[in-house]
A and B are shown apart, each in its own frame.
Chain A
Amino acid sequence: MRHMKKAAGVAILATVALTMAACSSSGDSGGGSDAAACAPSEGDVTLTFTSWIPGIEDAVAIWNDANPDIQVEVQTGPSGNAGTYQNFFNQLEAGNAPDLGQIEYDAIPNFRVQDGLEDLAACEDVVAAEDQFLDWTWGQVSLGTEDEVYGIPQDQGPMALFYRSDLFEQNNIPVPTTWEEYKSAAEQIRALGGYITNFSQSDINQFAGFVWQADGQWFQNDGNEWTVELTSDASETVADYWQDLIENDLVAVYPPWTDEWNNAYNSGEVWTWNSAVWGANSIASGAPDTAGKWSVAPAPQWAAGDAAAGNWGGSSIAVFKGTDHLYEAAKFALWLNTSEEALTSLNETAAIYPATKAGLELPVLQEGVEFYGGQKIYDVFAEAAGQVNPDFVWGPTMTQTYADVSDGFKAAIAGDGTLADALADGQEKTIAALEAQSIPVAK
């Protein structure tokens, strides 16, 4: 009975509140702009911060101990695309977004276009911190502009080549340094009954990393209009290359992250993986029987002697529109992603690979890794991190683009169309999706 009264009360309250909100919301919208001033708040501040990184609470606890007047409350949920981004949009709509949130680089433009993020360029400390970050990670949060900053870079995923050094050695196959050599190695390995790698039909991010490495661009934004270039020359070169390997049965096509996929690596059927720095853990846990037999080399290049790397993954901490504490939020986000104690904690609990130059020098990243035969694998990734093209920009509708391209890739694997067809289809649908949201597209 008591519950029923409460429910009725809440329902009435809700109705009243909604009516009032409907009346007042038109007046609210004009006053929001002065939130852009980045000045300290008076009195004690409590910030809410949503992240799905397990163990991030430990780093936040260090901050809370040292800053009694700026306390940070961690909220959590599933990873961004699995629900948290949608929640952010719902919360922005309802006007109760957290102060800070974890946002992967490829989702920032979407939040930017929906006007969901505060521009941190209003904060002096943030602008001054630019030099501490690798150029390309800063490019991801400034969206290629000079005077806007929509988040503080947290981690990154520079790509390199994980390979079975024992198998390459036993069979006298040189470790490929170019994509051409990679293909001839693939043929030799196929003759031995194995596959050189698994083409990941649903991780469009990996493919985007390849395009990134080939100096390709998928999107550009001149401040007014978006250019969509899924079918650029670089993009098509990469697509044709992998299409050729797939058609000649030189690569495995297991769905990624499944038991078969893990098993293919664990059993030695698949010999290499072009992946990001965080992939080091994925192999170690998915293929535990191969401990000590893996090594890491720089990614194969399109032309001998080049030194370009792609990136797969990485995220930032952004401040949501409507926060009352921009200054404090920015201060915390900077501390979390630049201070040695926070970066060490994040690396220990969640294997976060920092986005700052100094972070790459963390003592834990200088050690040899047992699973990789004691190799200091992070040296390879630190070098790759410096070779990532800083100009790569993501579009504002990446979820849809990924889904469309991924559908096309799966069809191509099944023999229906090609990877290039999938990109052309993704191009068309992405432009349609942008136009449907009234986002101007350059023709």
Chain B
Amino acid sequence: MTRVTDADTRALRASSAATPKARGPRESMLSRGVAMLIMVIFTLYFLIPIWWLLVASSKDRGDLFTTNPLWFADFNLWNNIVALLNYDGGVYVRWIVNSIGYAGVGALVATVLAGMCGYALAKYRFRGREVLFNVVLGGVLVPATALALPLFLLFSQVQLTNTFWAVFLPSIVSPFGVYLARVFAEASVPDELLEASRLDGAGEIRTFFTVSIRLMLPALITIFLFQFVGIWNNFFLPLIMLRSEELFPVTYGLYAWNSTINQFPELRTFVLVGALLSIVPLIITFLLLQRYWRTGLGAGALK
């Protein structure tokens, strides 16, 4: 499954690297040429695996090993997709829906929580504020993988393993999101504006949801994107928590198939086509949110 995850991240990096906007002072032709060359090489480096995946997905099993790996043979993509969607009672569709549920809803909740938390840390003075912030910041350093096993033992105790919640609950916390939200709230939500809305009679919660959240939108979109991609690619947690096929996210389902390819070779095509389809939602999310995201980074940098 590392291949899929790599392809995912490559897709993201590639699409951001592929649209540079050169402005500012003129450079010499040479340095410009060298820079272009390096960028072209890296673009190819990131795009070729996806190209390969697309080509491989369009071949039937016989052609896969016998024809040029980087060019099309008989075009069977649609047949392959139909076969994939029908295999094992359409379980793949279920996995995609699950992934969208875990990653979409999870990232949304995580964004709201991180936004509120960061905002509170930035805009309210209370005892233990810095300690709390440092503890949260410490959470950034702990890799999700290291937490998976303790989480499994905890969830076992409350009999929540092998449920939707086992993957969803750990996904809705984002220490990095809190950090980002705090930095951004400090920079972009003026205290004067909050005072003004208080004077106008708005409560703290209303102020947050009607005024502050708009000012923080670029940061929130960034947090959402990070968290969405993070949950989508989080593979170890479902591996440890889930047993029932109907709860799998797509990454884990494909991994399970892939691990039995030696004995069930017909799954190879499904893994390839499934991997190709599984990056589509990521690309769509990214393209839809990209412009918010870029203005967000820019706004942060200018302040």
Contacts and interface: CB of A to CB of B under 8 A. Distances in A.
Given A10-B158, A94-B156, A87 B240 contact: yes
Nearest to B244: A75
B169 A10 contact: yes
Given A96-B161, A288-B61, A52 B260 contact: yes
B69 A285 contact: no
Nearest to B168: A3
B66 interface: yes
Nearest to B170: A7
Nearest to B110: A3
Highest count of chain A CB atoms <10 Å: which of B154, B165, B261, B266: B154
Contacts of B245: 75-76
A425 to B, nearest CB: 26
A41 B231 CA distance: 42
Contact of B66 (A17, A52, A263): A263
Nearest to B65: A262
A266 B153 contact: no
B237 interface: no
A87 B239 contact: yes
A3 B243 contact: no
B152 A90 contact: yes
Size bin of chain B's contact surface: 35 or more
Contacts of B109: 3
Interface in B221-243: 239-240, 242-243
A417 interface: no
B156 A95 contact: yes
Interface in A146-185: none
B31 interface: no
B157 A14 contact: yes
Contact of B69 (A13, A17, A259): A259
Contacts of A263: 65-66
A14 B6 CA distance: 35
A54 interface: yes
A251 B239 CA distance: 38
A339 interface: no
A4 B173 CA distance: 10
Nearest to B106: A3
A17 B267 contact: no
Given A54-B264, A285-B61, A82 B255 contact: yes
A400 interface: no
B263 to A, nearest CB: 5
Given A14-B157, A77-B243, A90-B240, A282 B259 contact: no
Contacts of B260: 52-54, 78-79
A377 to B, nearest CB: 17
B300 interface: no
Contacts of B113: 3-4
Majority secondary structure of chain B interface residues (helix, strand, loop or mixed): helix
B266 A285 contact: yes
A286 interface: yes
A281 interface: yes
A50 to B, nearest CB: 6
A286 B109 CA distance: 46
Given A259-B65, A288-B62, A78 B259 contact: yes
B41 interface: no
Contacts of A14: 154-155, 157-158
Interface string B261-273: 1111111100000
Given A95-B156, A288-B61, A7 B172 contact: yes
Interface string B97-138: 000000000000100010000000000000000000000000
Contact of B265 (A77, A82, A286, A350): A286
A278 B155 CA distance: 39
Interface in B52-106: 61-62, 64-66, 69, 88
Interface string A82-118: 1100010011011110100000000000000000000
A257 B261 contact: yes
A77 B256 contact: yes
A105 to B, nearest CB: 15
A21 interface: yes
Given A3-B109, A10-B165, A52 B256 contact: yes
Given A54-B88, A259-B65, A266-B66, A90 B263 contact: no
A289 interface: yes
A262 B62 CA distance: 10
Interface string A1-24: 001101100100110011001000
Interface of A: 3-4, 6-7, 10, 13-14, 17-18, 21, 48, 50, 52-55, 75-79, 82-83, 87, 90-91, 93-96, 98, 257, 259, 262-263, 266-267, 278, 281-282, 284-289, 313, 350-351
Given A3-B113, A285-B265, 20 more contacts: A10-B158, A17-B158, A52-B256, A75-B162, A75-B243, A75-B244, A78-B239, A79-B256, A82-B259, A94-B153, A98-B243, A262-B65, A266-B66, A267-B66, A278-B263, A281-B263, A285-B61, A285-B266, A289-B66, A351-B264
6 closest A-B pairs by CB: A285-B265, A94-B156, A82-B259, A75-B243, A78-B259, A288-B62
Interface of B: 61-62, 64-66, 69, 88, 109, 113, 149, 152-162, 165, 169, 172-173, 239-240, 242-245, 255-268
11 contacts: A4-B113, A10-B158, A10-B160, A13-B158, A75-B244, A77-B256, A78-B260, A83-B239, A257-B261, A281-B265, A287-B65
